[in-house]
Amino acid sequence: MNLILFGPPAAGKGTQAKKLVAERGYIQLSTGDMLRAAVASGSELGNKVKSILESGALVSDEIVIALIDDQLDTNKGAAGFIYDGFPRTVGQAQALDKLLESRGEKVDTVIRLVVDEAALLARVTKRFEEQGRKDDNPETFSVRLEKYNADTAPLVPIYAERGILHEVDGMASIDEVSGGIDAALKEAV
């Protein structure tokens, strides 16, 4: 199972991905987590992407595609993969298709968490206060949202056309969103 959890930053993708990991044994592939780990470790990659992450811009397609490729190899035979924060551009989506095709697989389902921007801002302001993640400050968050609307939202019609896009109300409670995801997954198999 290759499942893309889709939605703007702070839509709740990470929370839902972690639930799916716990309940179904899928592997969460969060490019944001991988990049933050690289920054924290002070690796060459981390030093290269640090200022990009802090600005709210996107790192290059090449970098994130390589991270995903590597994780697919490392976790061969997993029950499923949840792509969280990837793909974020049309180029990444095409690359993911190729990576999966070369392994005899495909994107099975895309679950879009639908949230409104005002609610997102409120959510992320709270997260900033609680967790202090630098790129959650309101100025940087608005850059991330702009990037989402310009570069990532165009993937919605692409997956819709394939008939694999499911929409779940991301404004509902964590358990309700999770129920919506379970229902979408039942349809997908």
Residues within the interface to ligand AMP (CB under 6 A)? 9, 31-32, 35, 52-53, 56-59, 64, 85-86, 88, 92, 135, 144
> Which of 87/180 has CB closer to ligand AMP?
87
Catalytic residue among 112, 123, 144, 147: 144
Task: Look at residue 113 and give its three-state secondary structure.
Answer: strand
Q: Is 112 a catalytic residue?
A: no
> Which of 31/178 has CB closer to ligand AMP?
31
Least spacing, CB of residue 187 vs ligand AMP, in Å: 26
10 Å Cβ neighbour count for 38?
A: 21
Q: Is 13 a catalytic residue?
A: yes
> Which of 9/180 has CB closer to ligand AMP?
9
Catalytic residue among 19, 88, 106, 112: 88
Least spacing, CB of residue 30 vs ligand AMP, in Å: 6
DSSP string for residues in 16-52: HHHHHHHHH-PEEEEHHHHHHHHHHHT-HHHHHHHHH
Catalytic residue among 13, 112, 123, 147: 13
Least spacing, CB of residue 36 vs ligand AMP, in Å: 7
Q: Is 144 a catalytic residue?
A: yes
Q: Is 134 a catalytic residue?
A: no
d(C-alpha 58, C-alpha 147), whole Å = 8
> Which of 129/187 has CB closer to ligand AMP?
129
Assigned token pair, 18: 């972690």
Strand arrangement of the beta sheet that strand 2-6 belongs to: 27-30, 81-84, 2-6, 109-114, 165-169
> What is the helix (H) or strand (E) element at residue 117, kind and residue range?
helix 117-131
> Which of 144/166 has CB closer to ligand AMP?
144
Assigned token pair, 23: 């309940």
Q: Is 162 a catalytic residue?
A: no
Residue pair 95/17 in contact by the 8 Å Cβ criterion? no
Least spacing, CB of residue 59 vs ligand AMP, in Å: 4
Of all residues in this chain, which one has the CB nearest to ligand AMP in the complex?
32
d(C-alpha 134, C-alpha 124), whole Å = 11
Catalytic residue numbers? 13, 88, 127, 133, 144
